Chains A and B, each alone.
Chain A
């Protein structure tokens, strides 16, 4: 920085910036130390008191970790389908056609008013009674997409309504037909608004996909419970699963942060 034997008027600004940078760095170091101390302490405490079987962990971790692919695979397909459902749902919710609006509103109300686990069981265990027999993985994907689609419908509706009115009016004054106006002007801007929320939903879907374990889909939680019970080592097995869920959500949160920063560039 600037040598400040005789303080120049401008150098004070550098000193302030310098002090701020130091404070930021010290905050980051203390923050990181807190995490290391807490997580490290937890690990040590488990080792000392929990009678942790490291051999079990090294033997079974690969089997449990293999379930992460199923978790990510189910979540990815479900978030794409949920986005499509949400788009249709949002159109319905804003429609002036009473039938369309009624259907879309009922969908949102019904799905948001019942627990996800009930929907999962309903699709897998109850639908066969009326002749619809779906295998486990499709059942799980349908339940997750259906559920998240309803929540995201509201997000999309808010996003579309958040696009400034002037945009719509400008397009109308150019004589754009309603449909083109929606696809070319409103939706692209709405998407930018809702992408952070979709990212958020994806992170929660990664965790909610664990409910599919009840259908004997071999994802993370299912595998952890299976080998945990079988070997009388639920603590170790669940710690492995929890750690992987955590790592997955941290990774996707980072990706989401980057995406948001990129999207924000257009807002200057």
Chain B
């Protein structure tokens, strides 16, 4: 077969470029999911916060709690691209730690959960317009989010970790050769799983990503070519969120907070954590309360 000169030139330059990439230094780019606290952290804008104590409201009338009770359904938004917290099975049903926690909360309220997938950046944008009632989506409590959401007490805590592609041969922070977040830029993809997938697909713009340690462990268990690096960057307090700008919900917030308190006390959350996170109990406050 006769290869035309331009085609040969393109082929040669492609080979050259790919050879270059293999010998080049680690790109100073870190991949994160859209609207995550990992992005805030990279931008030097991560302000973890705590939810103030939640007290029982004087009156329940007109509260979202009443609406939920009369509908018999608690509408839960979750981004189902976050295994093992939330994902779909081939028959269309919902599974994961967040799903089980939401189901348990609904049952303790005496109603059934109804799940709907929303992209994470839509959920964290707030102003839900009553399209769903609560988010059980491992949302980190931050100062920026407090005007938008009312948070319950945390239902578990995950460490945020740095991960690197196996092809980069980086196994510790010392191998990286630059400081994070000072020396790097962030690349945002729709969801954290996209970062892992793109590394697996051979994309070379980034070799590093930041996400929850649980997501990294899940991806490694699913034979994705990444490794966990170093110590946790920070701990995330993850809570159920309600829309601050929607209908009156102090009552529902109180009821859910109570349910989570009970689930901490009677070991339900610990059992679910050990079931989904490979025997690890992530429900104890790492800061020692």
Contacts and interface: CB of A to CB of B under 8 A. Distances in A.
A205 interface: no
B129 A230 contact: no
Contact of B219 (A226, A228, A232): A232
A114 interface: no
Interface stretch (A60-68, A154-162, A248-256): A60-68
A226 B117 contact: yes
Contact of A60 (B90, B193, B194): B90
Contacts of B200: 232
A232 B127 contact: no
A52 B91 CA distance: 22
A216 B88 contact: no
B90 A232 contact: no
B196 interface: yes
B107 interface: no
B83 interface: yes
A63 B88 contact: yes
B90 A133 contact: no
Nearest to B224: A232
Contacts of B87: 230
A138 interface: no
Q: Select the residue from A62, A133, A228, A230 with max chain B CB neighbours within 10 A.
A: A230
A31 to B, nearest CB: 24
A230 to B, nearest CB: 5
Q: Which 4 A-B pairs have the closest CB atoms?
A: A128-B129, A232-B197, A133-B129, A229-B81
A229 B88 contact: no
Contacts of A216: 116-119, 122
Interface in B195-241: 196-197, 200-201, 219, 222, 224
A59 B127 contact: no
A63 B90 contact: yes
A211 to B, nearest CB: 14
Interface in B170-210: 190-191, 193-194, 196-197, 200-201
Interface of B: 80-81, 83, 87-88, 90-92, 116-119, 122, 127, 129-131, 190-191, 193-194, 196-197, 200-201, 219, 222, 224
Nearest to A235: B201
A229 B197 contact: yes
User: In terms of DSSP, what is the predominant structure of the interface of chain B?
Assistant: loop
Contact of A59 (B90, B92, B129, B191): B90
A117 to B, nearest CB: 15
Interface of A: 59-60, 62-63, 66, 128-129, 133, 135-136, 216, 218, 226-235
B92 A63 contact: yes
B223 to A, nearest CB: 9
B252 to A, nearest CB: 19
B90 A230 contact: no
Nearest to A135: B131
Contact of B80 (A62, A230, A232, A235): A230
A234 B197 contact: yes
A133 B131 contact: yes
A231 B84 CA distance: 11
Contacts of A66: 92
A247 B91 CA distance: 23
12 contacts: A133-B129, A135-B131, A216-B116, A216-B119, A216-B122, A218-B117, A229-B190, A229-B197, A230-B81, A230-B193, A232-B193, A232-B197
Contacts of A235: 201
A99 B224 CA distance: 62
Given A62-B90, A133-B129, A234-B197, A229 B191 contact: yes
A62 B91 CA distance: 8
Contacts of B83: 230
Given A216-B118, A216-B119, A229 B92 contact: no
Contacts of B88: 63, 226-227, 230
B268 to A, nearest CB: 26
